[in-house]
Structures are given as structure tokens and as C-alpha cells.
Amino acid sequence: MGLLLLLGVFALCVVIGMPVAFALGVGALTAFWFEGLPLFVVFQRIVSGINVFSLMAIPFFIFAGELMFHGGIAMRLVRFAQAAVGAMRGGLGIVNVFSSMLFGGISGSAIADISALGSILVPVMKDKGYDADYAVNVTVTSSIAGIIIPPSHNMIIFALATGGAVSISKLFLAGVVPGVLMCICLAVAAYVVAVKRGYPAEQFPGWTAVALSFASAVPGLMTAVIIVGGVLSGVFTVTESGAFGAMYAFVVTLLIYRSITWEKFKTAVVQSVRTTSMVMILIACAGAFAYMLTFYRVPSQTVDLLQGITDNPILILLMINAVLLLLGMIMDMAALILICTPIFLPVANSLGMDPLQFGIMMLVNLGLGLCTPPVGTCLFVGCAVGKLPIEKAVRTIWPFYLAILVAVMLVTFVPAISLTLPRLLGE
């Protein structure tokens, strides 16, 4: 009864429009009251949920991403991508994917990716004769590279949800190959659709232009190298690397590119504060909610339930993927990471899946959910940027969904994709 009350109150609050963070807190508070537990424990769990030193890295990562978004780094990455791969058939679609891979690996945010690259590439693609739905679909689906390719604040949230069982530096390494693999799948889909629709090929500008555009993009690309490299080498902690990355991004946009203005800087600060506040409130309230899930033995009961349905590990993993994808369509990603990790990670562990592999599998699934109705945040933002009705985008987006699903299956059933780099370069 208590579990039904916990989940029912949470669902009701979400349905009536309450923010997910507060819905989690109200649900947890109701369950505490029903069980007769001291209510001050709720607030202890809320405070302890964010009283984690590594979480200090999140505002730094977010601020660095906002500085790069407003500081002109995206444009230079697009120029490099266009010079390198734009000469292929339907080249601007592949440029879009390649740019997302580069910028996502710097910003760590799918929304920043769409806002920065979409506002640049979608109008250009339309002018070159590409259909609006194609331009928007490529932009939306490739944006989730920022969630998987490090540095990503969602990886820090996952590491927190495991109770410290996963090293953030190893998780960063685990995301590199799957992120690149997913972008390759999307590039193939973009090429196939472009050929089918008869989109043109761009003219190759020459190796000199490629080299010059790369040289212009290097200072921005070095942000990711500094953040990830500093963590992996042991020079920085995750929090220190985030702080240094934010400082470096500010110096690059102010002194090297000279593209950040006072107004843009203020906008970056305000957006960073807003995003950080939302993430931290969500993590805090999810701590109390997850405590009650554990109190009701939901993780162990989920293991028993799935193993009671079938003992085939392939079917169990497919069911977990399906549940994560469905939940990702209707809920916020950070909340799902905090709620679903304690529930499904024990199931994955019982099947012999490494927590690093499970984390990447979860992130790719939930990333796909961000591109999927009815609550696909990335899809909404992409359609707004491209001035395209959502229903028109959804009608033709399925080849890109299929490409991401191929990546999901490969990550799920081929452990080496996620684990080779952590094993070779990890601590």
C-alpha cells in the first residue's frame, strides 16, 4: 500500500503539472508520513542527496558549456566539419552529425547542442535545398551525443546514483566509443536518406581549407581535452577539471576568439544558474524518493520479478531497454537516472553486466527518449529552432530512431564497446 501511495502521489503531481523535482519530494514526504517515519528524516535525505563533493563539478560543466554556446565555438566547429566531410552526398547532414559529436563532447548538453548548432545549420541546410524535416531530424537525434561523449554531467549523476560504485573517470572513458559509434550510425542514416531524396554533394574545399578550419577549432576542442584529460591523468579531480574547463572556456572566448560580449556573458551566467538550480533540486528530492524505493525493497523485488518472467538474460536486457525507453519518453532524464539506477542496476549485475556498460546503455536509451514524443525535450527545441510542426518531424524521423536503436543493441550486447577503453586506460 505504501509503495502504491508513493508512486501514485508522484504520478498525480506530474499529471497536474507540478515540476518533477517537487513531485518526487511530495511523493516521498507522503510515503514517510504513511509509514510513520520521522519527517525530519525526509529533509536529512534531501540534504544528503546533494551533500556530495563531486556534484560541485556539475555547475562548472554547465557554465563551461554555456560560455562555449554563447562564445562562438560552435560556428568554428561547423566550419571544420563542413570542410572535412561536407563534400559527401547529402554532406550537410553528415556535417550536422559530425558537428554534434565535436560540440557535444565539449558542452555535454543536448539542448545546448540543438540551440547552438541548430540555429546555424538548419537555415543553411534549408537554403541548400534540404527539406526542413530532414534538417531538424538530423539535428535533434545527433544532439544526444553530448549526453554520451564526455564530459557529461549526466554521467556524474549516474555515478552518484550508484552510490560511488562507478568511477567517474572510467565512465568518461566508457562513453567515448559508444558515442562515436552512435554518431556513425546516424551519419549512415543521414547519408541513406540524403541519397534517397536526391540531395546534392558539396564541393571539397581542399586540404588547406580543412587544415585552416581545424586550426581555428583547436582552441575550443582543447576544452574537452583539458577536462577529460585532466581527470584521467590524475592532475585534476572531476570538480577541479570542471572549474579549470570553465576558466579555459572563458579565456578562449574572451582573448582568443574575442566573441564573448558582456551581454552574452551575463546570459551564460543566468542560464547556468537556472540549469544548475533545477538539476540540484531534482537530485535532492530524488534522494528522498530513492530512499523510500529501497525501504519498500523495490530493487530486489524487480530482480525477482524479471527473473520470474524469464531466466533468459537477453530477454531480460531487452525488457530493461524497453522500460527505459518508454520512461524516457515521458520523464526528465536526470530524474530517471536517479530513480531507475538503484532498481535496474542490481538486475544488470545479476546478469554479469558491468556497471559501466549498464550506465552507457541507460544514457543512450534515455537520450533517445529526449527525441521522442510525447515529452521529447530535444524534439520540441529542435522543431522550434527549425520552425517545423512536431507532427511533420515525427513522420520522417524513424530512420534516425532506427540508427540509435542499432547503437543501443550494440552497447547492450557487445561489452567491449563500452569497456575496452576503461580497461586499457583506466586506473
Q: What is the pLDDT of residues 298-308, one digit of tens each?
A: 777 777 777 77
Q: What is the mean pLDDT of residues 262-290?
A: 83
Check whether 216 has a pLDDT greater than 80. Answer: yes
| CA dist list (Å): 199 to 126, 191, 194 | 11, 9, 5
Q: What is the mean pLDDT of residues 86-106?
A: 77
Give the chain's radius of gyration (CA, Å).
21
Q: Looking at residue 374, what is its pLDDT?
A: 66
Q: What is the mean pLDDT of residues 7-16?
A: 84
Q: Looking at residue 403, what is its pLDDT?
A: 94
| pLDDT band at 390; cut points 50, 70, 90 | confident
Q: Which of 14-23, 188-197, 227-236, 261-270 is predicted with the least confidence, judged by mean pLDDT?
A: 227-236
| pLDDT band at 416; cut points 50, 70, 90 | very high
Check whether 55 has a pLDDT greater than 80. Answer: no
Check whether 105 has a pLDDT greater than 70. Answer: no
Q: Looking at residue 375, what is its pLDDT?
A: 64
- Closest of 417, 395, 399 to residue 408, by C-alpha: 417
Q: What is the mean pLDDT of residues 74-83?
A: 77
| pLDDT band at 413; cut points 50, 70, 90 | very high
Q: Which residue has the higher pLDDT, 62 or 324?
A: 324
Give CA–CA dist 295/53, Å, rounded: 25
Give CA–CA dist 31/3, Å, rounded: 8
Element at 177 (helix H, strand E): helix 168-197
Backbone angles phi, psi at 382, to 5 degrees: -60, -40
Q: What is the mean pLDDT of residues 344-366?
A: 91
| pLDDT band at 382; cut points 50, 70, 90 | confident
Of all residues in the chain, what percent carry a pLDDT higher than 70? 96
Q: Which residue has the higher pLDDT, 356 or 124?
A: 356
Check whether 10 has a pLDDT greater than 90. Answer: no
Q: How many domains does the chain have?
A: 1
- Whole-structure pTM value: 0.83
Of all residues in the chain, what percent carry a pLDDT higher than 90? 14
CB 282 within 8 A of CB 20: yes
Check whether 268 has a pLDDT greater than 80. Answer: yes
| Digit-coded pLDDT (tens) for 106-151 | 666 677 677 767 777 788 788 778 888 898 899 889 888 888 888 7
Residues spanned by the domain of 395:
2-425
Backbone angles phi, psi at 412, to 5 degrees: -70, -40
Check whether 401 has a pLDDT greater than 80. Answer: yes
Q: Looking at residue 96, what is its pLDDT?
A: 82
Q: How far is CA 62 from the centre of its chain?
A: 12
120 Cβ contact list (under 8 Å, min separation 6): 74, 75, 78
CB 240 within 8 A of CB 230: yes
